[in-house]
Amino acid sequence: MKTNDVIFQTVAKIVFFMIIFFAIHLFFAGHYYPGGGFVGGLLTSGAIVLLLLAFDMKTVRRGFPVDFKWLTALGLLFSVGTAAGSLIFNVPFFTHAYDYFQLPLFGKTSLHTAMLFDLGVYLVVIGVTMTIIQTIGESE
């Protein structure tokens, strides 16, 4: 019997974007509200796993043509780079900098280098989770 996942696949396509937006919201809210890179990354990989369930490995790989191991290394590079940036300014390692900026559309916004570190965490979490799931899924 041929299974037909048309309802599941249609719903997954819509819900995927809702989860991604919520993940991005959590990621950016991390400084003032509960959230941050870890839970944001986990939720993003949760959204990709939903696509994996609804479609198959090959389709999802076409949608996200990245090597997730690479993404992990990139995330580590971001985090280490942010922390090591303090070496250039000869302040103690991991010293962050922040300031307030007047951005169009957002208004007065505080930008903090801790966000770059968090971006690294976000990428590492996605990379590691997806590598684990893909490796287990592909091994016979």
Partner 1 sequence: MINAPILPILIPLVAAVVLMFLSKSVKAQRIVSVAASAATVIAALFVLKKVRENGIQTVDMGSWPAPFGITLVSDMLSILLVLTASIITLCVVVYSFRSIGSGREAFYYYPIVQFLLVGVNGSFTTGDIFNLFVFFEIMLMSSYVLIVIGGTKVQLRESIKYVLVNVISSALFVIAVGYLYSMTGSLNMAHISSRLAEIGADPLVTVLAILFLIVFGLKGGIFPLYFWLPGSYSAPPAPILALFGALLTKVGIYAIMRTYTLFFYHDQAFTHDILALLAMLTMIAGSIGALAYKDVKQILIYNIIIAVGVLLFGIAVMTEESMAGTVFYLVHDMIIKAGLFLLGGIMIYAAGTSNMTKMGGLIRLYPVLGWTFLVASFALAGIPPLSGFTGKLLIVRAGFESGEYVGAIVVLLSSLAVLYSVVNLFMAVFWKTPEGELPKKKTQMASLFIPSAALVVLSVLYGVGTEAVYPYVMQAVDALIHPEIYIDAVLKE
Q: How far is CA 90 from CA 81, 86, 94, 112, 113, in A?
A: 14, 6, 11, 19, 16
Cα–Cα distance measured from residue 24 to residue 18, given in angstroms and rounded to the nearest whole number: 10
Q: How far is the CB of 110 from partner 1 (least distance, A)?
A: 17
Interaction residues for partner 1, span 79-138 (CB under 8 A):
80, 84, 86-87, 90-96
**Site membership for partner 1, residue 25 (CB under 8 A):** no
**The one among 21, 70, 98, 101 contacting partner 1 by CB under 8 A:** 70
Q: How far is the CB of 70 from partner 1 (least distance, A)?
A: 7
Q: Counting beta carbons within 10 angstroms of the beta carbon of residue 30, is it exposed (0 to 12), middle (13 to 18) or buried (19 or more)?
A: buried
Site residues, partner 1 (CB under 8 A): 69-70, 72-73, 76-77, 80, 84, 86-87, 90-96
